[in-house]
Amino acid sequence: MSNHFLMHSDTKKGRRNSESLPQEKQNRVSFTKKTLTLPAFFPDATYGAIHSTPFNDIVPELGGIVVTTLHMSLLGLEAEFTKAGGFKKFAGLPDNCVVLSDSGGFQVLSLIKKNKLGKITDDAAVFRHPEHTTKKITLTPSLSQDIQHTINSDIRVVLDVPLMGDESEKEIRHAVDTTTRWAQEAKQRFLDLHSLTPSEFTNTSPTLTDTEISFSRPLLTAVVQGGNDLSLRRESGAALSSIGFDLFGFGGWPVDRDGKLLTDVIEAFVESVPSDALTYGMGIGMPDDIETCYKIGIKLFDCVIPTRNARHGMLFVSKGNGEKSGRTHNTVRILNSRYQYDLSPIDPECDCPTCQNATRAYVRFLLKKKNPVGFTLASIHNIWWYLNFMKSLR
């Protein structure tokens, strides 16, 4: 029998094979109080690793990372996490590095809405395994919390109904209503897993200031939907606020078809949730957009942009040290021939290990040859630059 939490079925033979989950309340997991400096940017560690970047190279600067719940479960790592005491111990990460686990919702967006591998029902996301077409996966709000509990993450996210941005008002309304119901179910499962009453959940809420958040138990994040409809966005935020969560994430796409940030939608999101809750710009990753969203009120961000762009030769640098790119930064498109003999660091103002030890010419050479060391050097720089950029916003 599979060790995966996710339920599979053989569509050819019509068999259902699933492991029953413990229904009784579990003991509270040992948790050390944590403080996260804000604003914060978390690199994405999709399969438990930041692409091309060893943790030890950036841990001194790192506040936290995002790991993907669905990928972790598809890899069948629950047994390893259970035995180790969670992902952090399994990976050897220091306890003060905050691990945020997503709900699986964004991956559902890709598998169901982009690749047409399944559907969203009233109770769950049901889709075919991306690598085993005869297997179906059923991901419920409660099951998502079970998997995140095994990961033993510090910040957890409730399963939502994701939107692509081109849905009708009826479809957006359905997503908002279903997301609210799923959030209620997910919160109850979270309370059960931690043996918490609703009042205990409230009484142990995190302490939030302009510059940090401190917490003594895992935090739970709701995802506000509503698309670009300001009224539905506010309605979603209000409904989720009435249930009560520690964080509120911006669900959906924050930019229009031209890539312009939808500031009115961002403002509606921030205004719709409690002022004493941390707001999370899920997937918002361009420096100019981060600065704008921070000014509006969002203080936590994550995105694949630093490492993805690094692998394709786009490196972020401070103003005046590269090609003009945005309001807050320049870029070095390192694969351009102009850098072939450039012996300067990627960014003379950066103190990352790459800038301290490698030249632009060398990084360019490695990337041109698709040498993995080049991916690592470029990724370390971009992540380090982003973390320093967050410091500058403070």
Between residues 257 and 264, the one the model is more confident about: 264
Active-site choice (44, 57, 192, 302) = 302
Residues 108 and 254 in one domain: yes
Q: H/E element holding 71?
A: helix 69-74
Q: Could you tell me the CA-to-CA distances from 311 to 138, 317, 327, 381 in Å, in that order?
A: 34, 15, 23, 11
Domain contains 161: yes
pLDDT given for residue 35 in this prediction: 96
Residues 263 and 345 in one domain: no
In DSSP terms, which residues pair with 118 in a beta bridge?
Answer: 127
Q: Could you tell me the CA-to-CA distances from 331 to 40, 202, 309, 378 in Å, in that order?
A: 21, 44, 10, 12
Strands 118-120 vs 155-157: parallel, antiparallel or unpaired = unpaired
pLDDT given for residue 6 in this prediction: 60
Q: What is the pLDDT of residues 308-332, one digit of tens each?
A: 999 999 999 999 999 999 999 999 9
Task: Report residue 293's pLDDT band, with 50, 70 and 90 as the boundaries.
Answer: very high
The dihedral built from the CA positions of residue 241, 247, 252 and 258, taken in this order, carries a sign that is positive
pLDDT given for residue 154 in this prediction: 98
Known catalytic residue: 146? no
What are the backbone angles phi and psi of residue 137, rounded to the nearest 5°? -120, 135
pLDDT given for residue 26 in this prediction: 41
Domain contains 199: yes
pLDDT at 157 over 60: yes
pLDDT given for residue 47 in this prediction: 87
Q: What is the pLDDT of residues 105-148, one digit of tens each?
A: 877 777 777 777 788 999 999 988 777 767 888 999 999 999 99
Q: Are 36 and 209 in contact (CB under 8 A)?
A: no
Q: What is the pLDDT of residues 341-380, one digit of tens each?
A: 999 999 999 999 999 999 999 999 999 999 999 999 999 9
Residue 249, SS3? Answer: strand
pTM score, two decimals? 0.92
Residues 232 and 318 in one domain: no
* Domain limits for position 147: 63-303
Which parts of 152-217 fold into alpha helices (H)?
Answer: 169-193, 198-203
Domain contains 24: no
Strands 323-324 vs 98-101: parallel, antiparallel or unpaired = unpaired
Residues 286 and 329 in one domain: no
Query: How many separate domains does the chain show?
Result: 2
Name the token pair of 1.
Answer: 């029998």
For the segment 281-306, the average pLDDT, to the nearest whole number, is 97
Known catalytic residue: 288? no
What are the backbone angles phi and psi of residue 310, rounded to the nearest 5°? -60, -45
Q: What is the mean pLDDT of the chain?
A: 90
Active-site choice (44, 57, 102, 246) = 102
Q: Are 221 and 156 in contact (CB under 8 A)?
A: yes
How far is the first Cα of the chain from the last one, in angstroms, to the nearest whole number?
51
pLDDT given for residue 384 in this prediction: 97
Q: Which of 303, 334, 369 is the last residue of a domain?
A: 303
Residue type present at position 389: F
For the segment 178-202, the average pLDDT, to the nearest whole number, is 98
